[in-house]
Amino acid sequence: MTATTQAQHTVPATASRTAAPASALRARKAARRRQLAACAVLMAPFFALLVTIFLIPVGTAIYLSFFSDDQPGLGFGPERTIFVGLRSYAALLTDPTFLSGLGTVALYCLIYIPLMVIGALALALLLDSGVVRLRAWAQLALFLPHAVPGIIAALIWLYLYTPGISPVIDLFAKADITIDFLGIHTVLPSIVNIALWSNLGYNMVVFYAALQAVPREVIEASVVDGAGPVRTALQVKTPLVRTSIVMVAIFTLIWALQLFTEPMLLSQSSPMINSRFSPSMYIYDAAFTRNNYSLAAAASVVLLVCTIALSYGVTRWTSRANTPEETAR
Amino acid sequence: MSTGDSTLMRPRLLGRATVNVVVALSVLYTLLPVLWLVLAAGKNRDALFSSNFLSLGDFSFVQNLRDLFAMDDGLYSRWYGNSLLYAVLGAGIGALVSVACGYAFDKFSFPHKEKLFGLVLAAVMVPQTVLALPLYLMASEAGLVNTFWAVFIPVLFNPFGVYLGRIFSQGYVPDEVLEAARVDGAGELTTYVRVALRMLGPGLVTVFLFQLTAIWNNFFLPMVMLSDQDLYPVSLGLYQWNSSASVSPEYYPVVIMGSLLAVIPLILAFALLQRFWRSGLTAGSVK
């Protein structure tokens, strides 16, 4: 309906310009309708998926978090479910295991995201500086872990963390150093390492591609102005690729908040990781081990809200942090 | 730092050396674990646990390969086939669906278009683990839990592909081409299939590759949806075998060999389609 009003709105404008007779006007209207129909056909499959895989599930999660089933595990027929308001949220937010999971993920993000963004950017700047030998090969080698599925990256590192199998631990042992990579203080850094290993090269390539798009004149100008390579990299190139930096930071954040695969696998070998180590593991445990759907749904909604709020926060914060710089230039 | 200009050769050379050393160390960091996987795949169980790792003495690569495909009545080849089916078919259909939608966002105008696009971008942000329980309940209502479809349908959904599709459509398909086709009286959909889709080829391959990687990596969803081992993808299968390994160590060499084989398809895909995904990364980040 709104589509036809738009069509009427645009057609007279074009018609008066060409001073077309009524039949041409009708033909234009028909063309416009054909276009909208084609647009609908092209979009329909994706939006069917969007509704079934995204909107309905999010709605269901919110709904479930406010209702509880007297006999959990028997589905959610409307007769048996009762409205419990915020009871599930209250239960969730007073559950120390959930709060410690949130704390774990917060700490994980605080260690992982800065390391990832700075490491990938530094490598990209080094590769872009033009003094690296065999640059193409170095890039390929750095990118390689991205082709290793997450669960297999976790498997490889689990073996490298396991005494008896790991050549790394053997090496340390020869130097009389004993390291327990899966101990209480080391398990989180060990997980950070797996994620860093998997994604460093990928993000480096993203930054490198953005750096390649920086106009060469800008860099030549800064060299003429007497800036050394380090200064050019930090004060000229880095601000010019900040869109990529924000994007990488946000995607890294979204992935980091979902932390699941690596701790799930390591939990097979480390008693330091319990079944509610991260919020995602908490959701899995609540839904499929304890069959407490409303609690799992409430945890899902909390995780969703945190993700959206933090992504939004990063976007706002970076755009504000950039304003003074822009006025200075 | 800023004094390192071209007249002072010494700091320059030193800088060069430092840069190369840092990059070389990073390369070692990314390569060595993969190299370990390759070497470990050639070890039998005893050699795996011996401290003398680098000795190439008992080389049992072929034996491990044979064991892998014989373990649990050849379950591994079943998983491998499943993964290929989920990933190749899912990424193929998913890329076509997403790019068609991105193209429509770029080339047609209709009310509230940008709001609708905002919804697509919001979907990129939503964690998969949030959707898992509702999807499981929906699948169980529809009687699809523990079937191929329970994993296959959700992986088709790729909102980031729509975003990329829109950018590629802006870059690769000039509006004049569409105008020309319209003047010639070609239908909109015919134009899309015959003209635009061909120009969108590289973009389509990029979206396909991103989605292929995502589906091949997929672990959480199959874990939630599937209980029948015959439907498992490689990722979930290896997870399960690894959990058995702590009890029965004969699984260790098999899990390692299985991991090595599971890495190969993505490396092949990235190597063969290199020029496409590089352009995709630029499109996704510079914009």
> Tens digits of per-residue pLDDT, A212-271?
888 888 888 888 887 777 788 888 888 888 888 888 898 899 999 999 989 998 888 888
- Give residues 130 to 149 of A whose Cβ lies within 8 Å of B: 131-133, 138, 141-149
Say which of B103, B108, B126 has its CB closest to residue A58.
B126
Confidence (pLDDT) at A281: 93
State pLDDT tens for residues B50-80: 656 655 556 777 888 888 888 788 889 999 9
Question: Does residue B2 fall inside a structural domain?
Answer: no
Verify that B126 and B264 share a domain, yes or no: yes
User: How far, in Å, CA of A89 to CA of A39, rounded?
Assistant: 42
Verify that B14 and B146 share a domain, yes or no: no
Confidence (pLDDT) at A193: 93
Verify that B106 and B79 share a domain, yes or no: yes
Domain final residue, candidates B17, B38, B60: B60
The pLDDT confidence band at residue A197, using thresholds 50, 70 and 90, is: very high
Task: Inform me whether the pLDDT recorded for B280 exceeds 80.
Answer: no
> Where residue B216 sits, what CATH number does that domain have?
1.10.3720.10
Task: Inform me whether the pLDDT recorded for B93 exceeds 90.
Answer: yes
Question: Does residue B4 fall inside a structural domain?
Answer: no
Verify that B169 and B35 share a domain, yes or no: no
Cβ contacts of residue A137 below 8 Å, gap of 6+? none
CATH topology of domain A91-328: MetI-like fold (1.10.3720)
User: How far, in Å, CA of A308 to CA of A216, rounded?
Assistant: 37
Assess A53–B contact: CB distance below 8 Å, yes or no.
Answer: yes
Verify that B203 and B261 share a domain, yes or no: yes
The better pLDDT of the pair A155, A132 is held by: A155
State pLDDT tens for residues B232-261: 999 999 999 988 887 777 888 888 899 999
CB-defined contacts A:B, below 8 A: 294
Verify that B19 and B96 share a domain, yes or no: no
For residue B13, give its domain range.
9-60
Contacts of residue B119 in chain A, CB cutoff 8 Å? Answer: 50
Alpha helices in chain A (DSSP H): 2-18, 22-49, 56-66, 87-93, 96-128, 135-143, 150-161, 167-174, 187-212, 216-224, 229-231, 238-240, 242-257, 261-266, 279-284, 293-328
Verify that B24 and B105 share a domain, yes or no: no
- The number of distinct structural domains making up chain B is 2
Question: Does residue B95 fall inside a structural domain?
Answer: yes
Assess A307–B contact: CB distance below 8 Å, yes or no.
Answer: yes
State whether residue B58 is helix, strand or coil: coil
Verify that B22 and B101 share a domain, yes or no: no
Verify that B156 and B27 share a domain, yes or no: no
ipTM, two decimals, is: 0.85
The pLDDT confidence band at residue B287, using thresholds 50, 70 and 90, is: very low
Residue B43's φ and ψ, nearest 5 degrees, are: -100, 145
Verify that B163 and B260 share a domain, yes or no: yes
Verify that B162 and B187 share a domain, yes or no: yes
Closest residue in chain A to residue B128, using alpha carbons only: A258
The pLDDT confidence band at residue A9, using thresholds 50, 70 and 90, is: very low
User: How far, in Å, CA of A147 to CA of A205, rounded?
Assistant: 13
What average pLDDT does chain A have? 82
Every domain of chain A with CATH number 1.10.3720.10 lies at 91-328
Rounded average pLDDT over B264-271: 88
pTM, two decimals, is 0.84
Verify that B234 and B108 share a domain, yes or no: yes
Question: Does residue B88 fall inside a structural domain?
Answer: yes
Rounded average pLDDT over A292-306: 91
State pLDDT tens for residues A80-103: 677 887 888 988 899 999 999 999
